[in-house]
A and B are shown apart, each in its own frame.
Chain A
Amino acid sequence: MTELKSTRLAFGEALLELAEEGIDIAAVSADTSKSMEVEVLRKKYPGKCFDCGIAEQNMIMVSAGLAATGKTVFATSYSAFTSMRSLEQLRTFVCYPRLNVKVVAGLGGFSAGIEGVTHMALEDIGIVRCIPNLSVFCPSDYYATKKIVKYIGARDMPCYVRIGRDSSPVIFDEKYDFEPGKANLLMDTGNDVAIIASGLILYEALIAAKELTDKYGLGLKLVEMPSIKPVDKKAITELAGATKKIVTVEEHSIIGGLYSSVCEVLCSSSPVKVYPVAVPDIFTESGTPAELINKYGLSGESIVKHVKGLFV
C-alpha cells in the first residue's frame, strides 16, 4: 500500500521550519491560508501571516511590498489564479524588480480536477516559464515539496512552485536532494528510451517504468525534472546521447511545459525524437484526478502503451 502525504502540508511544515530557523519570512494568502496549510505557521507565528482576502492581485502586490523591505515572502493561492489572475503582478512587480517572492501554487494539474476547468491549471507552467528572473519548480511528492520550499526559503530568488491538493503518493524520503537546474536519475536499466517526468505525475511514470522494464524487458532511464526553469540542459543532452528516444511525462498542456522545455534544449543539438505524454491542447472537464489522468492518457498504463508503441 502506497503511503499518501499532502504536498500542501509539506509546504506549511516547511514554512514553520524556516521561521524556526530564524529566516525573516512572511506568508501572504488570498483566502487560502487554511487550504494551503499556512495555519501550520500561523499557530506559532501569527504576526508573519497575512490573508488579503479573495484578491490574488493584491496578494502579489502586498508580497512585493513586503519583499522590498527585505523579507522572504511566500505568496500562496491556487495555480490557476496565481498564473493568470495575478500574472502581471508577478511579472512586472516581482520578477522585473527581482523581489524575493515565492509563489507557491496549489491545486496544480489535475489535482483540482473535481472543480472543473475554472480551477485547474494545465497551462500555468507555460504561462510563467517565459518570465525573466523567475525560477519554476514542480515537486513530485511531500518530501520533494518540503525540500524545495526549504531550499528557496533560504535564498533570495523569485520562484513559482507548483504543488498539488489532496494527499499524493510518497516517492522520496528525507534524503531527497534538490538543486535548481538538476535532474534526478531514478532508474537506469538501459538505453532504449529515456523517460523524463515532472510533478505529481512522476508516480505514474514510475509505475510505467517498472512495468516496461520488468514485463517488457526494455532498458530505460527514468529521470525526474523538478526544475523546469532552469532546466537541466546537460542531463537532457546526455540522455539524448545515450538513448534513442525520449518520452516526457507531465500533468500540463502539451504546449509550454516540460515537453517544450526538453524540445527547446534538443532541437538545436540532437536528432533524437521526443515523444510527449501530456494533456492535449483542449479544455478538459470535471473529474477526480484519477479519472482525468486515465481519460487524458497520463496513467501508468497509458504511458506503458505509449512507450511500447514506439518500439513496434
Chain B
Amino acid sequence: MIYKEDLRKEIMLKNELSLKANEIRKLVIDMLYKIGPERRGHPGPALSIAEILACLYFSVMNTDSKNPKWPERDRLILSKGHACPALYAVLALKGYFEKEKLYTFRKVDSMLQGHPDMRKTPGIDMTAGSLGHGLGAGTGMALAGVMDRKKYKTYVIIGDGETQEGLIWEAAMYAGNMKLDNLVVIIDKNRFQSCGDVCGIVDVDPLDKKFMSFNWEVVKCNGHDISSLLEAFGSPHANKPLAIIAETVKGKGVSFMEEDNSWHQKAITQEQYEIAMKELHEKNSSSAQ
C-alpha cells in the first residue's frame, strides 16, 4: 500500500511540474509579446528550459522566495542568460516579485534587465549573459560551500553551443580537479545556436565523453520529460561534479517555434501570439486531466 501511495505522489508531482513548465511557457510568450517588437527577446532558448527550471525551482532546489539571499539556499546560474524570460517567469511564479514586473522586461528603469542582473532582480544568484562564464562562477560558489562546510548545491544551466567557449573548459577542468560534488551543470542540448545548427557551425559532441574525461559524472536525459529530469537530478556523483546533458527542443511547446531557429530572437506578432497561447492553454487542460 505504501508503494501505491508513493506512486500517487510521484504522479502528482509530475503533473504539477508539467503544469508549472507550461505556466512558465505561457508567461514567456505573454511577456515577450507584450513588451513589443522593439524589445524583442529570445523565445526559442527560453522555451527549451521550461521543464528544467520547473523541476529545479518546484522540486529539486532548496530556496526561499521571502529570503532570496538566504545563505543556505541552493544557487542557480543561468549561464545562457539570453533565456532569462523563462527564469524571470519561474521567479515570478515562486513569488520573488509580482508577475506584473515581467512586462517591464528590457524597459528602461526595469528590475528585469535584458540579461540577468544579480543586483537588480531578487532571486538572481549571478549576473550572466556573456556566454561561457556561468560555470566558473558556479565553481567559485561551490568552493565557498566547501570552505564553509555548507550543504547547498550550485546549479548552472549552459547551452550546448555555449560549450564552444574556451572558458567553459577552464572551469570544467578545475571543478573536476577539485572534485566538487556540490556542483551540477545542466546542458540544455537544443542543438541550435544563434546562426544555425551547433553541429554545422562547430560540433561540440561527444559532450558526455568530454565531461567524463574532465572527471565529471555524466548523465543524459530527456529535458522535457519530468521523470527523466528528476532521475538525472537524483544521480549519485560522489567526489565529482555532475553534468546533466538534457536533450531538448528549441522553441518547445509552441508548434511553429519548435526547431525553427528564426525564433532564437524574434518579436511575436499578434496572430502568432494568439496561436501560441491557444496551444499552451490546450496543453494546460490536457495535462490537468
Q: Which of A43-98 contact B (CB under 8 A)?
A: 47-48, 50, 52-53, 55, 57-58, 60-71, 88-89, 92-93, 96-98
Shortest distance in angstroms between A301's beta carbon and chain B's nearest beta carbon?
45
Q: Does A26 touch B at the CB level, under 8 Å?
A: yes
Bound-state Cα–Cα, A97 to B142, Å: 19
- Tally chain A residues at the interface, Cβ within 8 Å: 29
A to B contact number (C-beta, < 8 Å): 98
Which residues of A are found within 8 Å of B118, using beta-carbon distances? 68, 97
Stretch among B130-138, B200-208, B252-260 lining the A interface: B130-138
Give the interface segment out of B2-10, B58-66, B101-109, B169-177. B169-177
Is B139 on the interface with A (CB-CB < 8 A)?
Answer: yes
Q: Is the interface of A mostly helix, strand, loop or mixed?
A: helix
Give the total of B residues in contact with A, Cβ under 8 Å.
30
Which of B71, B127, B141, B167 contacts A57 (CB under 8 A)? B167
Known: A63-B140, A64-B126, A68-B118. A93 touches B133 (CB 8 A): yes
B127→A92 contact, CB < 8 A: yes
Contact B127 A65 (CB under 8 A): no
Given A52-B170, A53-B174, A97-B118, the answer on whether A68 and B137 have CB atoms closer than 8 Å is yes
Q: Assess whether B143 is in contact with A98, with CB atoms less than 8 Å apart.
A: no
Pairwise interchain contact A69-B170, C-beta atoms closer than 8 A: no
In the complex, which residues of chain A have a beta carbon less than 8 angstroms from the beta carbon of B11?
Answer: none
Q: Are B126 and A69 interface neighbours, CB within 8 A?
A: no
Q: How far apart are B137's CB and chain A's nearest CB, in angstroms? A: 4
A38 to chain B minimum Cβ distance, whole angstroms, is 15
Whole-angstrom CA separation of A57 from B131 in the bound complex: 13
Query: Which residues of B are at the interface with A, using a C-beta cutoff of 8 A?
Result: 71, 117-119, 125-127, 129-130, 133, 135-145, 147-148, 154, 166-167, 170-171, 173-174
Interface residues of A (CB under 8 A from B): 26, 28, 47-48, 50, 52-53, 55, 57-58, 60-71, 88-89, 92-93, 96-98
